[in-house]
Structure 1
Amino acid sequence: MPHREFRSAFRTLVISLTLAFSTASLADDMPPASHGIAMHGDLKYPADFTHFDYVNPDAPKTGTVKQWAFGTFDSFNPFIVKGTVADDIGLIYDSLTTKSQDEPFSEYGLLAKAIYVPESRSWIEFELHEEARFSDGKPVRAEDVVYTFKLLREQGSPFYRAYYAGISKISALSETRVRFEFSDSENRELPLIVGEVPILPKHYWEGRDFTKPGLDIPVGSGPYVIASFDAGRTVTFKRNPNYWGANLPANRGRNNFDVISYDYYRDATVALEAFKAGEYDFRQETSSKQWATGYTGAPFDDGRIIKELIPNENPTGMQAFVMNTRRAQFSDARVREALAYAFDFEWTNQNLFYGAYTRSHSFFSNSEMAATELPTPEELKILEPIRDQVPPEVFTQVYRAPETNGDGQVRSQLRKALRLLREAGWELDNGVLKNSTGETFDFEILLVQKEFERVVAPFIRNLERMGISARIRIVDVSQYINRIRQFDFDMVVSSFGQSNSPGNEQREYWHSSTADQPGSRNLIGIKNPAVDYLIEQIIQAPDREQLVLRCRALDRVLQWSHYVIPQFHISAYRVAYWNKFAMPEQRPRYSLGFDTWWIKR
């Protein structure tokens, strides 16, 4: 008996020592706690920062702001592919971290008070604020984080499965500590983007059907809660007086309105007139015609409404006519290239846009990542492994979308287009373009805003001169969203936004794995091994210099594959607002920063 007791005690001692040494080893390997994480380089703000530079930390918190939204809504669940979601629903949620808007890509603690990440970035741990609370008063805990990612990746939009595919394990180490482990340590962006996901309350969503849209008011942990709504017409958010994170450094000077409400309009012209009549307070304009001609009248003359153009430093991405390459008539790059000659940007800009826009030639316009010169030797090293898989022009020419002199005479452009079409097996037959089997070339351009019809109509007229029959189909918001999610279109006008630090979202835009996933942003249907390769190169970029070079390489391949017909961009926000607002003198470089404005007393 004593012998067995000795053996038992000895075994307990060995186990204890082993655990002690193991724990000590882990402690030795544990990186120091940080208040944030930067994609490349150092954080701008130190651990003891009190607020971002582009806010007024003493801004008064008061008043109501009314805004407008287009169309309708039937859901408060933005995480699934069903339903039309209410605008600004993100106001009710917090994430582990929040991005600063004057750095290319840096995240600072929000729900997380401390961040632990090794140099390898093969894992990351977040220590939550003990005082973090959901809007119903229940604490935010590590199990909510684990539950959120499980829910989103299993039942949410396909985006979450693709975007966070590199997560191999998520563990709740304690009530307030959660650990993410990554299968791909070369994906240096993953530790940052896991911090961006809104954290959902496990106690609320357990027992509910997450896959169905609906108007049950959800529980969140953000600065606002939904106060009221009229389905499809209005939604009102009120600032949560018990919001746990109001005094965090990353939040000071932000979320200054007591109430934010949205009225929904189905006609943009009617919405503008309502704005001028004082029905709502703030408007960001997207139409150059409206901006040039519609913002007139007594409220502008006497200063009650302020009209302002605010420059920004954001990459403008690519707005374009997007061709669905799943359709047979768009599967040939020569055809796609030919159609671009029918869009006369210079005439359109002069006659319809009042000269407001710049032609887009790059998927990363207005940034250092745009491929505007021939590839450098450093970039050629990136491109060399795919030389046989991409158009030769990638190596020898700088892409420029077709240009005209703006007088509306495009005969030479159309001749070039018809040569390309003949090479692809299409011939004019009595003014009608047909292929070898006698099929005519016709397609539909799907639109959701009637105002864009005037932009598309001249494009269609030039297509008709090439023997192509194109027609416009305008549908309501809900139908448009559903058709886009199912890739049920021939051509649409869409845009692919870019940040100052491209990464995993490129898979969602262009990667083969997302081409057949309903709801993905791979609207084009790209399945190109060379593109896949370059996306992974971007995600694995070890530093800023390589990130820029790899984005330029991807830009060239996308350009010369002629997946879209580039349109135009503007590097400024066009805003108008009733003279009731004040804003910080220093504005954020990479956003409008409306959440830093306040109402004057």
Structure 2
Amino acid sequence: MPSHPARTIAASRAASRSRMTLRLGAAVLGLGALVASTGFARAESHETVIESHGYSFFGDLKYPADFPHLDYVNPDAPKGGEMSQWGQGTFDSFNLYTRKGRQGALATIGHENILTGVYDDPTASYCLLCSTMEYPESKDWVIFNLRPEVRFADGTPLTAEDIKFTFELFMEKGLPSFRAAFGAMISDVEVIDDQTVKFNFTPDAPRRDVIELAGGLPAFSKAWFEETGFELEESSLTPIMGTGPYELDSYEVNSRIIYKRREDYWGKDLNLNVGRYNFDRIRIEYFGDSSAAFEAFKAGEYAFRTENSSKEWATSYDFPGIRDGYVVKAELPDGGLGTGQSYVFNLRREKFRDPRVREAIGLMFNFEWSNETLFYGLYNRTTSFWDNGGPLTAMGAPTEGELALLQPLVDDGLLDASILTEDAVLPPTSGNRQLDRRNLRQASGLLDEAGWIVGDDGKRRKDGRLLTVEILESSPAFDRIHNPFIQNLQALGIEAKLDRVDPSQATDRERNYDFDLTVHGFNLGYEPSTGLKQWFGCDAMEESTRNLMGFCTEATDRLIDAIIQADSTDDLQAGVRALDRVMRAERFTIPQWFKDKHTVAYYDMYRHPDPLPPLALGELDFWWYDAEAAQRLKDAGAL
């Protein structure tokens, strides 16, 4: 995935999983759900109750209950060895469920959700911690029948009381956006017996979301929390104990983290897990920046690298390890959604509330010149919040389904009538020089109209205030991309500069919305629903780590509600296209780039299934270690 080079390995892995609509973000290496029905009646209900090994709202499940293994894994993959990668910056916590501290890479690797997903059935969720689920046609509740064999890392069994405790813990001490989402949809959680837990849903909760929302809850041990006194709201270098296949082995703050595979992992023989979690150890080495990390990779200090710098990919992979055949350089297909990677405006700042200002600033980013000069032609321009999304991507004029949603918003004065007839907004194109004079003239006219007038010193002012733009950044690798953009903005009369800080400062400032422009991605999934409220909704704009922009309009709130209420694939896709169209017209992002391949390099001791599933690289999930090849590398002095 072409991601911002400042993002750590943890963010990179999370992004790839989010393409498959990772329901909660707390699961580590998987996702999921399903449906297969047999009707029977619970005593407290006269409705037909469906019993299934999974859930999918719009379609059938790919995998039956008794499937032997996932189609894309190697069921005979050997266990053993180490996967090593790099992370950037610093860390001081393994608690991902608080805004405090900077989390270490793969901080939730020991946690599992009730339901999980798979990389070749992206709209389904399968039972992981449960063996089956039961729910009525009304979806007023769901019962999860927990697997009796599930064990936490200390060997104690998972019970329904632990699930209830986890829900109540998050509702009391979880992030505000979590409490808002779950509290609006789940009224309470009941313990029926040790292995049976029931989630009751609120009357107004969208029925498409409720089962997967409940199934997205991780499992924490009530006894462990009581014994340790762990505070969910605080940063901590003690990871929360989970049921997952890996646990923390050791760490050195700001240097490395090592996770080890649990030999006693309860689910190692489960059909969902056959051929997965093959490495004995996963090691993350920390470096201050990508350049230092690359030098360490060439020296064999870690063994797997996803390359996010087009310059490095095009010019630097000719070192001895490549020439001697010790290191594999590969471009592997990536069929997932683009992340919508973009500069985003902080709309909380008055100077950016005028769309003419946003459009003018966006005209100054020259993607075509950047791609040719800086990226060696490796990227495509981000055009949509659902790039590579097929029927989810708004194209041309609105379709009939989109018009049915957009017309009432125009009638109510929430949208301009032009949205009904004009083509979806695309980013501006530029010439082959860094500063495109045509775009400069257009941008200048927009700022003049908005009242930002050029003074004798060449700077633009309005009501005596300078028009300033600062780009928040933590990675030196991005300087060569930001600086030409800044120079173009200065040519427009804007007082522009790069505000480069260390990664922990960048995290803190983004959380506190203390920036003008920053780089952001949108991992929105194939069946977007209530999560859109955290990305773009008015209710979450002042507390969400996703809605960095502070974006809020009544029109988009209503479109999000229509998407949530969609009861057919056609209605869902029309709603998403309409939302994509409206948000692109707001120009609160300056689209950057994406590519449809994974650019990776690794020492020739790792193997993967061929072909890979379209929606995941999966190097931490279903790749494996070739011990004989590793020994040859060691004998040759390559590692």
Residue in 2 aligned with 1:177?
196
Map Cα deviations across residues 38-72 of structure 1 (whole Å, 9 max, x no partner).
13110000111121101011211111222111111
Residue in 1 aligned with 2:345?
323
- Measure the CA separation in 1 of the matches of 2:279 and 2:416: 52
Give yes or no for the alignment of 1:416 onto 2:416: no
Give yes or no for the alignment of 1:308 onto 2:330: yes
SS at match of 1:372: coil
Contact conserved, 2:407 with 2:420, CA < 8 A, in 1? Answer: no
1:370 pairs with one of 393, 400, 413 = 393
CA distance change for structure 1 residues 392 and 449 in 2, over 3 Å: closer, same or farther? farther
SS at match of 1:168: strand
Greater mean deviation of Cα atoms: 90-99 or 585-594 = 585-594
Give yes or no for the alignment of 1:211 onto 2:237: no
- Measure the CA separation in 2 of the matches of 1:277 and 1:196: 41
Matches within 5 A, 1:247-262: 247-262=269-284
- Measure the CA separation in 2 of the matches of 1:558 and 1:598: 42
Matches within 5 A, 1:103-142: 103-142=121-160
Number of equivalent positions: 579
CA distance change for structure 1 residues 288 and 508 in 2, over 3 Å: closer, same or farther? same
Code of the residue aligned with 1:384 in structure 2: it is: Q
Q: Report which of the two structures shows the higher radius of gyration computed on alpha carbons.
A: 1
SS at match of 2:442: helix
Residue in 1 aligned with 2:527?
501
Contact conserved, 2:304 with 2:601, CA < 8 A, in 1? Answer: yes
Contact conserved, 1:39 with 1:192, CA < 8 A, in 2? Answer: no
- Measure the CA separation in 1 of the matches of 2:123 and 2:177: 21
**Structure 1: gaps (5+ residues):** 1-22
Greater mean deviation of Cα atoms: 426-435 or 580-589 = 426-435
Code of the residue aligned with 2:54 in structure 1: it is: G
SS at match of 1:273: helix
- Measured after TM superposition, the shift of residue 27 of structure 1 is 6.3
Code of the residue aligned with 1:316 in structure 2: it is: G
- Measure the CA separation in 1 of the matches of 2:45 and 2:414: 48
Contact conserved, 1:362 with 1:555, CA < 8 A, in 2? Answer: yes
- Measured after TM superposition, the shift of residue 436 of structure 1 is 4.0
Map Cα deviations across residues 354-393 of structure 1 (whole Å, 9 max, x no partner).
0011111111111121111211112100112211212444
Residue in 1 aligned with 2:514?
488
Give yes or no for the alignment of 1:294 onto 2:283: no
- Measured after TM superposition, the shift of residue 349 of structure 1 is 0.6
Contact conserved, 1:81 with 1:156, CA < 8 A, in 2? Answer: no
Contact conserved, 1:132 with 1:139, CA < 8 A, in 2? Answer: yes
Give yes or no for the alignment of 1:452 onto 2:478: yes
CA distance change for structure 1 residues 240 and 436 in 2, over 3 Å: closer, same or farther? closer
- Measure the CA separation in 2 of the matches of 1:393 and 1:61: 59
Residue in 2 aligned with 1:273?
295
CA distance change for structure 1 residues 323 and 209 in 2, over 3 Å: closer, same or farther? same
Residue in 2 aligned with 1:35?
53
Give yes or no for the alignment of 1:335 onto 2:357: yes
Contact conserved, 2:366 with 2:435, CA < 8 A, in 1? Answer: no
- Measured after TM superposition, the shift of residue 162 of structure 1 is 3.3
Code of the residue aligned with 2:613 in structure 1: it is: P
Map Cα deviations across residues 290-345 of structure 1 (whole Å, 9 max, x no partner).
11112212211222111111112211031111110101110111111111110111
Greater mean deviation of Cα atoms: 268-277 or 30-39 = 30-39
Contact conserved, 1:91 with 1:225, CA < 8 A, in 2? Answer: yes
Give yes or no for the alignment of 1:73 onto 2:91: yes
SS at match of 2:265: coil
Code of the residue aligned with 1:97 in structure 2: it is: L
Residue in 1 aligned with 2:614?
589
Code of the residue aligned with 2:249 in structure 1: it is: A
Residue in 2 aligned with 1:381?
404
Residue in 2 aligned with 1:18?
none
SS at match of 2:66: coil
Greater mean deviation of Cα atoms: 198-207 or 39-48 = 198-207
1:559 pairs with one of 584, 588, 607 = 584
Map Cα deviations across residues 413-447 of structure 1 (whole Å, 9 max, x no partner).
11111211122111111253444411110121100
Contact conserved, 2:107 with 2:239, CA < 8 A, in 1? Answer: no
CA distance change for structure 1 residues 350 and 392 in 2, over 3 Å: closer, same or farther? farther
Residue in 2 aligned with 1:224?
246
SS at match of 1:472: strand
SS at match of 1:596: coil
Greater mean deviation of Cα atoms: 49-58 or 425-434 = 425-434
- Measure the CA separation in 2 of the matches of 1:365 and 1:487: 26
- Measure the CA separation in 1 of the matches of 2:172 and 2:356: 40
Residue in 2 aligned with 1:352?
374
Residue in 2 aligned with 1:14?
none
- Measure the CA separation in 1 of the matches of 2:357 and 2:96: 37
SS at match of 2:187: strand
Contact conserved, 1:447 with 1:492, CA < 8 A, in 2? Answer: yes
- Measure the CA separation in 1 of the matches of 2:263 and 2:176: 35
1:540 pairs with one of 565, 570, 573 = 565
Code of the residue aligned with 2:409 in structure 1: it is: I
Residue in 2 aligned with 1:403?
429
SS at match of 2:109: helix
Contact conserved, 1:158 with 1:520, CA < 8 A, in 2? Answer: no
1:88 pairs with one of 103, 106, 124 = 106
- Identity, in percent, stands at 39
Residue in 1 aligned with 2:598?
573
SS at match of 2:521: strand
Question: Where in structure 1 do 4 or more consecutive aligned residues deviate above 6 Å?
Answer: none
- Measure the CA separation in 2 of the matches of 1:402 and 1:393: 18
SS at match of 2:292: helix
- Measured after TM superposition, the shift of residue 409 of structure 1 is 4.5
SS at match of 1:295: coil
- Measure the CA separation in 1 of the matches of 2:58 and 2:383: 27
CA distance change for structure 1 residues 33 and 24 in 2, over 3 Å: closer, same or farther? closer
- Measured after TM superposition, the shift of residue 230 of structure 1 is 1.0
CA distance change for structure 1 residues 191 and 431 in 2, over 3 Å: closer, same or farther? farther
Code of the residue aligned with 1:220 in structure 2: it is: G
SS at match of 1:134: coil
1:193 pairs with one of 181, 192, 213 = 213
Map Cα deviations across residues 444-483 of structure 1 (whole Å, 9 max, x no partner).
1100111111111111111111110111111111111111
Give yes or no for the alignment of 1:476 onto 2:498: no
Greater mean deviation of Cα atoms: 492-501 or 352-361 = 492-501
Structure 2 length-normalised TM: 0.88
- Measure the CA separation in 1 of the matches of 2:46 and 2:607: 50
- Measure the CA separation in 2 of the matches of 1:99 and 1:261: 25
Contact conserved, 1:393 with 1:560, CA < 8 A, in 2? Answer: no
Contact conserved, 2:344 with 2:517, CA < 8 A, in 1? Answer: yes
1:524 pairs with one of 538, 545, 549 = 549
- Measure the CA separation in 2 of the matches of 1:98 and 1:406: 47
Contact conserved, 1:431 with 1:466, CA < 8 A, in 2? Answer: no
- Measure the CA separation in 1 of the matches of 2:394 and 2:575: 10
CA distance change for structure 1 residues 187 and 562 in 2, over 3 Å: closer, same or farther? farther
SS at match of 1:496: coil
